[in-house]
Amino acid sequence: MSAQPVHHASSGPRVPVSIDGIAQALPSPADRMAFYREIGPLEDPVEREAAITSWWTKAMAAAYGPDRAGFRAAVSARLADTRRPLPGATGE
């Protein structure tokens, strides 16, 4: 009797939602440099979170390649979560 791998609905490439995780998953050195140039000067937490989410989405798209359905399933929860207002945000 041998152990069989467990397949979860969310299996597939996973890119950590962190600066290092995103940078490592980007497909080219030019993408990594553009990412660092955009993230580096951001001080506002809302702007930083928006940039991280945007680049994370690009890194996930690269990780999933042609598997568009898998990509959509993998990012949908994170993108839905980012559409909610942050605590203390005025919505102006």
Q: Which residue has the higher pLDDT, 55 or 2?
A: 55
Average pLDDT score over the chain = 83
Domain residue limits at 70: 19-82
Does 90 fall in a domain? no
Output the pTM of the full model. Answer: 0.74
Average pLDDT in the 7-13 region? 54
Q: Looking at the 3D structure of the chain, how many domains does it have?
A: 1
Does 4 fall in a domain? no
Query: pLDDT tens, 33-65?
Result: 999 999 999 999 999 999 999 999 999 999 999
CB-based contacts of 42, cutoff 8 Å, min separation 6: 48, 51
Q: Which residue has the higher pLDDT, 33 or 90?
A: 33
Average pLDDT in the 55-77 region? 93
**Residues recorded for the chain:** 92
Does 1 fall in a domain? no
CA distances from 86 to 11, 16, 47, 74, 78 (A): 29, 21, 12, 22, 14
First to last CA, the chain: 61
Does 44 fall in a domain? yes
Does 52 fall in a domain? yes
Structure tokens at 1: 């009797």
